[in-house]
Amino acid sequence: MTKVNKNFENLVPSYLFAEIAKRVNDFAKANPDKKVIRLGIGDVTLPLAPVVVEAMKKGCDELGVKETFKGYPDYEGYGFLREAISGYYKSFGAEVSADEILVNDGAKSDAGNIGDIFSEDNVVLVTDPVYPVYVDSNIMAGRKILYADGTEENGFCAMPDSSVKADIIYLCSPNNPTGACYTKEQLKAWVDYANANNALIIYDAAYEAFITEDNIPRSIMQIEGAKTCAIEMCSLSKTAGFTGTRCGYTVIPKELELDGTNIYKLWYRRLSTKFNGVSYPVQCAAAAVFTEEGQKQIKENIAYYQENAKIIAKTMDELGIKYTGGVNSPYIWLKCPDNMGSWEFFDYLLNNIYVVGTPGEGFGKNGAGWFRLTSFGDRENTIEAMERLKGLMKK
């Protein structure tokens, strides 16, 4: 008899985005004359940079010619892309060699699958609020999960507690959903905790390209001691608009050994069994991101979103609404005014000013009473949404 993985029964049904869509659709149907502005999405809206599109086309052309045709790519990604990524790390002072980089189809796959190589009896620690993939993938595997609280008091930067024993720790900085970022000193405390406990940090740097401040590390590999306790996941989704194109990368230091086992080798064994690589044209497109011209072009797009974030943050300042994020992150995480609950605030904005955000409680218990706005929309709509919000709050 076939038996299913009963751990799936322990997943909390994820109603968040379905419920948002339902409420927005109901509102739009009942109010066809109202222009709804969506600031809830975590997807980008600007097109790929021209240099990226050109590189992808060139890659396609090569596949159409016998002499340059390519079949299966290397499991870990082509050397030309891994060298380019290694050079990128060097540009901000992190030593990551090309043979420590594994190219993938986006950070979600590795974030969700990395647990394959770890025993089920590891204790997992996540910070709350949390990107749900870390939690759900570990529930599916039947692991015990502990939560480190991100709160208003600690600026949503939960810190290690030496009395808590965790084996696998997920950190995300700049954080989704809170936009909060760990400083180098704070990350060092996590690295020290992990090394002292023979624990692993899985560091999600998907939003590193949005960092503007010097003391905020772009990579955990900038922190002394990280190479003996951390792996890093990064993505071109938000960096270069690859949400639909799909490309990311994972860094596993060659010297990382846990439980007497080399982690790069173990992950490579898993990868080569279950994954056949990222397509050549996409890897060509990804490599173009790391060229001088590519960096210039993608930074123009990032600057556009950063300006949107500034507009939202400035509005919060004007209205005296507390928030984190916005400076080094595309997300603004705000405290719902007048002690409103996050769904209450959602309905309040939708019904009064037709603006859509994301209720914080969808990201964990510490998200209750908080709300996420994103800067991935277009400028005109972002400005209009903030004008409407000012009008509403000043009433």
- Report in angstroms how near the CB of residue 119 gets to ligand PLP at its nearest: 24
Give the interface size with ligand PLP as a residue count (CB under 6 A).
Answer: 14
- Using CB under 6 A as the binding rule, whether residue 131 contacts ligand PLP is answered as yes
CA separation for the pair 334, 178 (Å, rounded): 8
DSSP letters, 314-335, are: HHHHHHT--EEESSSSSEEEEE
DSSP letters, 6-48, are: GGGGGSPP--HHHHHHHHHHHHHHH-TTS--EE----S--SPP
- Using CB under 6 A as the binding rule, whether residue 266 contacts ligand PLP is answered as no
- Report in angstroms how near the CB of residue 41 gets to ligand PLP at its nearest: 10
- Using CB under 6 A as the binding rule, whether residue 248 contacts ligand PLP is answered as yes
Q: Contact letters (x/-) for ligand PLP, 190-229, by CB under 6 A?
A: --------------x-x-----------------------
Residues of span 101-120 touching ligand PLP by CB under 6 A: 106-108, 111
Q: Which of 266, 231, 269, 226 is nearest to 250 (CA)?
A: 231
- Using CB under 6 A as the binding rule, whether residue 241 contacts ligand PLP is answered as no
3-state secondary structure of 128: strand
CA separation for the pair 267, 3 (Å, rounded): 27
Q: Which of 89, 279, 125, 100 is nearest to 197 (CA)?
A: 125
- Using CB under 6 A as the binding rule, whether residue 37 contacts ligand PLP is answered as no
Which of 243, 262, 291, 295 contacts ligand PLP by CB under 6 A?
243
Nearer to ligand PLP, 298 or 386 (CB): 298
- Report in angstroms how near the CB of residue 137 gets to ligand PLP at its nearest: 12
Which of 178, 186, 219, 237 contacts ligand PLP by CB under 6 A?
237
Binding range to ligand PLP, per CB under 6 A, among 9-17, 53-61, 100-108, 319-327: 100-108
- Using CB under 6 A as the binding rule, whether residue 40 contacts ligand PLP is answered as no
> What DSSP character marks residue 171?
E
235 neighbors 248 (Cβ within 8 angstroms): yes
- Using CB under 6 A as the binding rule, whether residue 156 contacts ligand PLP is answered as no
- Using CB under 6 A as the binding rule, whether residue 358 contacts ligand PLP is answered as no
367 neighbors 333 (Cβ within 8 angstroms): no
Q: Contact letters (x/-) for ligand PLP, 157-196, by CB under 6 A?
A: ---------------x---x--------------------
* Cβ neighbour number for residue 387 with a 10 Å cutoff: 12
Return all residues near 291 (Cβ < 8 A) that are at least 6 apart: 51, 84
Nearer to ligand PLP, 143 or 372 (CB): 372
How far, in Å, are 122, 209, 235 from residue 249 at the CA level?
24, 14, 6
- Using CB under 6 A as the binding rule, whether residue 288 contacts ligand PLP is answered as no
Nearer to ligand PLP, 128 or 204 (CB): 204
308 neighbors 379 (Cβ within 8 angstroms): yes
- Using CB under 6 A as the binding rule, whether residue 42 contacts ligand PLP is answered as yes
CA separation for the pair 79, 73 (Å, rounded): 10
The residue ranges that bind ligand PLP (CB under 6 A) are 42, 106-108, 111, 131, 172, 176, 204, 206, 235, 237, 243, 248
